Structure 1
Amino acid sequence: MARIDISEDEIDRVVTRFYERVRGHSMLGPVFAAHVEDWPEHEAKVARFWKNAILRKPGYDGSPMQVHRAAGNVRPGMFSTWLAEFDKVLRAELSPAQAEGWSALAHRIGMSLRQGVVERETFSGGIPKLK
Structure 2
Amino acid sequence: MAKALRTLTLLMGWACVAIGLFHVALGNAALPGAGSAGATVDSWGRFMGASFVGYGLAWVWAARQRPIPAQAVRWLAGVFLLGGAARLLSLAVHGRPHWFQIVLAAIELGLPPVFFWLAEAEERSGAGAAARRPVTKSA
TM-score by length of 2: 0.34
Answer with 1 or 2: which has the greater Rg.
2
The structure with the greater share of residues assigned to helix is 2
